[in-house]
Amino acid sequence: MATIRKGKTINISQEIIGKITILDNIQNTFSVICNNLTQTVFLLTESTRTSINDNGKALILNNVEYSKLNENDLIRISPSGKYEILYSIKSNDNLLFITEKCNSRCIFCPQPPKNVDDFEYYFNVNNSILDNLDKTVEYIGITGGEPLLAKEYLFKLLDKINNKLPHTEVQLLTNGKLLGNKEYFSEISNYITDKYIFGIPLYSDFENDHDNLVGCRNSYINTLKGLYNLASIGARIELRIVLNKVTISRLKQISEFIFKNLSNYF
């Protein structure tokens, strides 16, 4: 999820998502072009806030935050003044955040999952991001929570990525468990092309260690099935081992396990 920052809003009563554009090159002022084109939102500092009329919509930022804005960045602004850069033109680490839900409970999760109904909300946000992206974007990541849980919402986004951004490399971060389900895999494989790379963690050669670390029984077996399913269609896989006390103590064993059981497939 992108970093959420705080400014002050003027006359903004609903969430706004749009592309930042330069309004005035001389004064270096920005505005936001919203998807529905029915409103213009000015991005201002305390010293330039007087430049809008009484009905004007604006987000007021301090000078430091203002200086981080770039033309063609995508921004989301909430009425409370919280805002985030959804897509930064200068970053090579832009993400589509799919959901805060997850079907694991990893003990080292940097962003513990929430049981919220957010598939549709993030679908709409991500759809707006894709609407505003240029075909030349080289890379985009997909993450969560566990993105595969959003199923149809995710599939619609993959379809749009495949049609709108045919040359963009996509890294999909997942625990891989749903890929072990035959029916699920058969559906998602319709969208997988060689531009996708699946980032999947395997924490141990030893089932109990893996399952204890991710906080759910049967995770190890389902992730392995998912890896084999991906390998069966020649999908690109980035196997990830997060180093911690448990994984370090069996690093040699997991390396041998991967070499013996998985290296023929990847």
**Binding site residues, ligand SF4, CB under 6 A:** 102, 104-106, 109, 113, 144-146, 175, 214
Distance CA 137, CA 135 (A): 6
Residues 6+ apart with CB under 8 A from 201: 175, 176, 223, 239, 240, 241, 242
- Alpha helices by DSSP H, listed for the chain, are 63-67, 119-132, 151-164, 182-188, 207-214, 219-232, 245-249, 251-261
Count CA atoms closer than 13 A to 116's CA, side-chain side: 13
Distance CA 22, CA 72 (A): 9
What are the backbone angles phi and psi of residue 11, rounded to the nearest 5°?
55, 30
- CB 80 → ligand SF4: shortest distance, Å? 26
Q: Which residue, 9 or 247, is less far from ligand SF4 as judged by CB?
A: 247
Q: Which residue, 7 or 144, is less far from ligand SF4 as judged by CB?
A: 144
Q: Which residue, 44 or 106, is less far from ligand SF4 as judged by CB?
A: 106
Tokens read off for 132:
């505003």
Distance CA 169, CA 188 (A): 17
- CB 73 → ligand SF4: shortest distance, Å? 26
- CB 251 → ligand SF4: shortest distance, Å? 20
Q: Which residue, 113 or 180, is less far from ligand SF4 as judged by CB?
A: 113
Q: Which residue, 86 or 106, is less far from ligand SF4 as judged by CB?
A: 106
- CB 219 → ligand SF4: shortest distance, Å? 9
Distance CA 85, CA 102 (A): 24
- CB 112 → ligand SF4: shortest distance, Å? 7
Q: Which residue, 18 or 144, is less far from ligand SF4 as judged by CB?
A: 144
- CB 222 → ligand SF4: shortest distance, Å? 12
The 3-state DSSP composition of the chain as helix, strand, coil percent (nearest 5) reads: 35, 25, 40
